[in-house]
Amino acid sequence: MKKGFIAAVILAMLVSMSTVGFAQEAAKTYGQVLSEIGLIQGSNGDLNESGELTRSQMVVILNRLGAKSDEAFTPPAKATFTDVPTTHWAYKDVEKAYSDKVTTGIGNGKFGVNNKITYQQAAAFLLRVLGYEVSYDKALTEAAAKGIKLAGEKSANANLLRADIFELMTKTLVANVNGSNEQLVDTIAAIDEAHRTTFLNEYAQAINPELRAFSYTPVADVYKGSDEFLKKSSADGRKYGLQVEKVVNVFTGTGTAVSYADFFKLINPEETIDFQFAWSEYSNDPEYGEYGIYGWSYVSIDESGYLFAHVTATEGESGYEATNPTVTKYKPVTVDGKQVTPYHVEMDLEGFTGEIEPYDLFFLLDAKGVYTVASVGAFGDGVHTRQ
């Protein structure tokens, strides 16, 4: 590692290394979004979004959405449904959907292999992909409650166009898997990390405004050399970033502005809010060269909204100040078995160049006060959780 750095310069660079932003509006059709992340292909690039889809075609696509999509599946020697014999082109996919409890058929031992897919059927299929047990007659209502619904009006028995299916599928990707805070897109092995990140950052909020309010991308563990210091800096940066991502991802919807004074009262500290967290950073910067740095940040915020952070690191130590907090409250969620209410606090920080830059704190409050807080920006990205 190069030792010629001025500690204050390196620490100040942390101000701009990580940012958290609001998701972008989608500018493509749902079919194009699914094609971009590799879930559908179409015929010679033609997605035929104005065409209809049969039940057999639907399950072929659905099998790519399941958490078990990467697992090998051997269909039974004897067909489950009389209209899908072992020689049928969709036999393996229909049997897999049946094995995964995505479909039970249409009755009388039939799957309805050539039937057009209806709105009600699609809703039931997609809820089951998410791991929910749902009665067929309540599928539309339950799917809509999870954001899986068409923007336009269609009856339960209406045959859906491929464009409709793509819309519902895309909305399913950003819905939570049953019993988890993970979105379906996070569980699909067929979607690589680069495509998953693009999808979440660029489309998720536009797809369903009740989903993630912020986009945060953890740094990758990119160092592949033999230097143990750089190896630790890179690996820990990734580890702490994933911890931050877990906190940021529970913030959903648009939120409601609240006063800092009211927020401070909820925490009920004696005089200040105090917390500390570890952080780490690796970079191969064109100007400063390759380096690693890690340390701890000790943060204190008083009732006036003044924040001071003392940062200790492998290259030295420094202090930062931030002011003018604005607070936004989000809907309560369950994290680690606890009912928590998320609060986003954005503050003004004087950056290394003298310009005012945002500094973000993501608080999860329970009945005892601060359960978890994630820091993004100036003092390194990291998480403090109450023990």
Give pLDDT, residue 199.
80
Phi first, then psi: give them for residue 186, nearest 5 degrees.
Answer: -75, -15
Mean pLDDT confidence for 346-360:
80
DSSP state of 138: G
Decide if 92 contacts 99 (C-beta within 8 A). no
Decide if 36 contacts 196 (C-beta within 8 A). no
Q: What is the pLDDT of residues 287-336, one digit of tens each?
A: 778 889 999 999 999 999 999 999 998 878 888 889 999 999 998 888 88
Specify the pTM: 0.56
Q: Which of 80, 87, 82, 89 minimizes the C-alpha distance to 54?
A: 89
The single-letter code of the amino acid at 148 is: I
**Pairwise CA distance, residues 308 & 311, whole Å:** 10
Structure tokens at 221: 């563990």
Q: What is the pLDDT of residues 17-46, one digit of tens each?
A: 444 444 444 357 888 888 888 888 877 778
Give pLDDT, residue 373.
96
**Pairwise CA distance, residues 365 & 266, whole Å:** 8
Decide if 14 contacts 378 (C-beta within 8 A). yes
Average pLDDT for the chain:
84
Q: What percent of the chain has pLDDT over 70?
A: 86
Give pLDDT, residue 98.
92
- Split at pLDDT 50, 70, 90, the class of 205 is low
Give pLDDT, residue 355.
77
In terms of phi and psi (left: phi > 0; alpha: psi -120 to 50; beta: otherwise), the region of 194 is alpha
The single-letter code of the amino acid at 166 is: F
Structure tokens at 208: 């369903």
Q: What is the pLDDT of residues 119-133, one digit of tens each?
A: 999 999 999 999 999
Mean pLDDT confidence for 58-81:
79
Tell me how many degrees the CA angle 71-36-58 measures, rounded to the nearest 5.
Answer: 55
Decide if 311 contacts 320 (C-beta within 8 A). yes
Question: Cα dist. 116→65, 157, 171, 226, 358 in Å?
Answer: 20, 10, 21, 58, 51
